Structure 1
Amino acid sequence: MNIMSFSSKVLFKFFNHAVVASSKPVRVRDAAAAAAPAAVVVQWRAVRRYHNFRKIINQGPAGAAHIRVVDLRSDVMTKLGPSMRQAMMKAVLEDDPMKREEKVHGLEKITADIFQMEAALFVPSGSMGNLIAVMVHCRERGDEMIVGDMSYLHIYGQGSSAQIAGVYTTTVATLPDGTFDLEQLELMIRHNYPRTRLISVENTHNIQGGRVLPLTFLQEIRALADRYGLLVHMDGARVMNAAVAQRVPPSTILQHTHTVMLCLSKGLGAPMGTMLAGPRDFISQAVRYRKALGGGTRQAGILAAAGKLSLLEMVERLEEDHRNAKTFAQALLDCDAPLFAVDMASVETNIVRFHLQEPSFSPSEFCDRMAQIGKGEEAALGQGVQVLMYPYFGNSVRAVWHLGISPEDTQLAIRKMQFVASQYLEEKVRAQ
């Protein structure tokens, strides 16, 4: 047996087992093993207003019959569905060393066609995709880009634009809807040293709760950039959510940008991978930077098969995530215990960001309680339910819907939220 057929058999066994295992209920005796990697309690440590996380320990009464986990921490928690596993398994079985690149090129062509751009490139991660875009657009060390002060690229990129690319970053205030004040943005543009080369926007906007950038705003940004000879890059990790929410093709959004990065591994359900798209000469240079950053991927045909399925079959279902998020947000407002504040107009896609109105009830404590199995919970809910969320930016809580979180899971999360709220208020009354 050669190594290729051996690895194919091993992967087949893994995929087959995973499909079967995913349908099994989680019992108490194996809950710690099955839920511990996913179940976490989050603790904040404020460092320059950013957050870090620690793992949650599965906590619950010893008599719990079984536990249901609803993981709303992030859409990167998406689990591979049967169709995705089958597409990847087929790619493994058909893996021909001479055709791996053809499969990746096929994915890149599909992406370019959907975006109505000249070319596209597969890269391992969104962070690398954004960094490559910065490196191509800002060719000289000391060049400058303008980004939102609450953008993912600025806050979570570990300063890679400066650290690796030698690009200076100027920030403009991010408004609640994810946009900028255009007059303030224009004042930031400089033609001396450093020289402004690039404006980066984020759509949908992560920290602002999945907000969709208005098309008029993007049109105005592009007109401003053209006037000053600048380039526009979109961190479009969730741009397909924006397209679904606005009921337009993604190309309608992207006609106002020069380049875009799209993550395949969030709501679109792929295990990993990101697409970077733009003009042909941009992609030609991006290939070289991908190589320099160690982004070349072996056995990429497997990932390309998953990415192709994501783009062709997983986009329309994002609307279900949006509906589930709105259902949960409305339940927060309708809760008998008036503990929660959420702006329904801001719930545009798959992210719900909300605040607790009780000063003594912190986001961390709320998330702890949602992740634990409380006393009397089984009697009230019919089973133990762990709902995993993160305490988030600005003393809030964030919950994110994705593939694998069904309407039934959403109802379980609502019932758990109502149980935690009533339990907290009962404890507060007893303490008075």
Structure 2
Amino acid sequence: MFVDLRSDTVTLPTPEMREAMYRAEVGDDVYGEDPTINRLQEMAAEITGKEAALFVPTGTMGNAIAILTHAGRGQSVIVGSESHIYHYEAGGASSLGGAPMYVVPTLSSGMLDLERLRDGIAGQEDVHVAPTGLICVENTHNRCGGTVLTVEQLESIASITHEHSIPLHMDGARIFNAAVALRIPVSELVRPVDSLMFCLSKGLSAPVGSMLVGSKEFIGRAMRTRKMLGGGMRQAGFIAAAGIVALENMVARLAEDHARCKRLAQGLMDMPQIEVNLDTVMTNMVIFRVLDTNQQPLNSEETERFLLAAREQGILMGQLGSGRVRAVTHYGIEDDHISATLHGIRQALRDITVA
């Protein structure tokens, strides 16, 4: 039996979700006739304070739809250097939409470097440069360890984008984690952005699906983009039913994941061979490094040896590259799993020997 901390994508649907899926009323969503899809979309728009919403199969597709809908061919998309869109979404904006990515530095907090952001915005005047069509932010920020951007930080970015009449899209795969951590309604947190993608299949524990929200006009155009990408599904209400349960029942409990993650991080701090920054543990992720006997961080290959040793102890975690280990708490991880994880990591550290 493994304690799986690789990601919150490994969550399993709750009993209530399974029952709702079994009993879901469905229709053909491409015709707009699936009542469960329609209800989920209405809920998503209402809870985020946006005009309309669109159900999509995955978060990656949701971000791709947003980028292709906002930015035209030959327009650049500004993304952070540590963003999920840049690192993990197969270059969809550039490959599918002909929109090159312009990368600005991501600060350790997950915030974009505002000075570099301003410098990166291009208009139509210079024929040598692709004009900026979209700016993207991420909240919570995956590669920064689940850090949270506040309303004030988002407003500072939005003021720049809107000054240049450029839309602002948020990769909010875990936006409910951010809102719970800040103890504010998600609608308040996403107010500064023009569009938002959030996942139902991570901390909210639905088996499949993400939502794209924005203005009615934007979502109307996004529906065409979704169809072009093959994301128009038929009787998808069976999986949307789980998303409804997720929004109704699974948001508040995210605080439990955050508390367990903090406990995990505090336990790791007590281990001399572990380097972790407790200040960045804001939601359900902790990123740490393993140190050798000279208190130097292990490289990627050596870190893989540690992860294999941890796996032998029944603990699954992942590497973000450069020797950084990520552990993610989620639905299904209880207090005893945190205790087992700390015990397993201590044993794994004893099992590896790095000079």
Instruction: Give the aligned partner of residue 227 of structure 1.
Output: 163
Superposition deviation, residue 299 in structure 1: 2.3
Q: For 1:360 and 1:368, how far apart are their aligned partners in 2? A: 17
Partner of residue 153, structure 1: 85
Tell me the SS of whatever aligns to 1:80: coil
Corresponding residue for residue 307 of structure 2? 367
Moved more, 229-238 or 411-420: 411-420
- Aligned partner letter, 2:307: C
Report whether the alignment pairs 1:416 with 2:344: yes
Q: Which runs of 5+ in 1 are unaligned?
A: 1-67, 374-385
Partner residue in 1 for 2:203? 267
Amino acid at match of 1:176: S
Cα pair 2:172 2:196 within 8 Å, conserved: yes
| CA distance 1:360–1:117, shift in 2 (3 Å) | closer
The alignment's TM-score, normalised by the length of structure 1, stands at 0.77
Asked if the contact 1:207/1:393 (under 8 Å) is kept, the reply is no
**Alpha-carbon deviation of 1:341?**
0.6
Task: Determine helix, strand or coil for the equivalent of 2:168.
Answer: strand
Q: Quick check: 1:183 aligned with 2:111?
A: no
Where 2:147 maps in the other structure, the secondary structure is coil
CA RMSD of aligned residues (A): 1.7
Amino acid at match of 1:249: P
Secondary structure in structure 2 of the residue aligned to 1:311: helix
The residue that corresponds to 1:113 in the other structure is: 46
User: Within the alignment, does 1:143 sit opposite 2:143 as a pair?
Assistant: no
1:217 corresponds to 2:153? yes
* Aligned partner (choices 250, 274, 283) of residue 349 of structure 1: 283
How far does the alpha carbon of each residue in 1:374-424 deviate from its partner, in whole angstroms, 9 at most, with x for none?
xxxxxxxxxxxx110112233210111111111111111111112222444
Does the 8 Å CA contact 2:27/2:35 hold for their aligned counterparts?
no
Aligned pairs for 1:160-309 within 5 A: 160-192=92-124, 193-309=129-245
Looking at structure 2, the residues matched to 272 and 310 of structure 1 have their Cα atoms a distance apart, in angstroms, of 11
SS at match of 2:2: strand
1:356 positional shift: 1.1
Whether the aligned pair in 1 keeps the contact of 2:26 and 2:35 (CA below 8 Å) is: no
**Separation of aligned partners in 1, 2:28 and 2:185:** 35
Checking the alignment, whether the CA contact within 8 Å between 1:321 and 1:403 is kept in structure 2 is yes
What code does the residue aligned with 1:289 have? T
How much has 1:69 moved relative to structure 2?
Answer: 1.0
| 1:393 match | 321
1:85 paired residue among 10, 18, 37? 18
Distance in 2 between residues matched to 1:89 and 1:102, nearest whole Å: 15
Shift of 1:215: 2.0
Instruction: Quote the Cα distance in structure 1 between the aligned partners of 2:197 and 2:52.
Output: 12
Residue of structure 2 in register with 1:383 after alignment = none
- Matched-pair identity in %: 41
Q: What are structure 2's unaligned runs of at least 5 residues?
A: none
Please name the residue that 1:126 is paired with. Answer: 59
How many Å apart are 1:181 and its aligned residue?
1.7
1:132-182 per-position Cα deviation (integer Å, ceiling 9, x unaligned): 1111111x3101111001101011111110111111110001111111121
Distance 1:196 1:123, change over 3 A: same
Question: How many pairs does the alignment contain?
Answer: 343
C-alpha distance in structure 2 between counterparts of 1:405 and 1:250, whole Å: 24
Higher Rg:
1
For the residue of structure 2 that corresponds to 1:122, the secondary structure is strand
Taking the aligned partners of 1:423 and 1:368, their CA distance within structure 2 comes to 10
SS in 2 for 1:164: helix
